[in-house]
Amino acid sequence: MNEESWIKQYWRPAIAWQYLAVCVFDFIIFPAFYMYFSQQQWDPITLKEGGFYHLAMAAIIGVAAWTRGKEKITRILEGGEEIEEKTKTTQTPTGKKQ
């Protein structure tokens, strides 16, 4: 089995968390503080230049998710990974009574 390095394995979730943090700060936290202290309206930094930052992040996260899905499908079809059963019951099977 080929083990991936931690950076190769976790870059996708790291990018998604970073994008979430940027959106929370740019649309929630900074506007609240800015309006409280300066009594003016906050102009979101990431919406400048036509919101290109959001378009770029959507492309990166979308393509990364798509390629990861393709990798998983390929791995399953090659037999390298088992499909986990999502529904497991804790009930004992009902059989014939003796």
Domain locations in the chain as residue ranges? 8-77
pLDDT in tens, 37-93: 998 999 999 999 899 999 999 999 889 889 888 988 888 888 866 655 555 555 555
Q: Measure the CA–CA gap between 32 and 25, rounded to whole angstroms.
A: 10
Report the C-alpha gap between 4 and 12 in whole angstroms: 13
* pTM (predicted TM-score): 0.66
Q: Report how far residue 51's alpha carbon sits from residue 54's, in angstroms, rounded to the nearest whole number.
A: 6
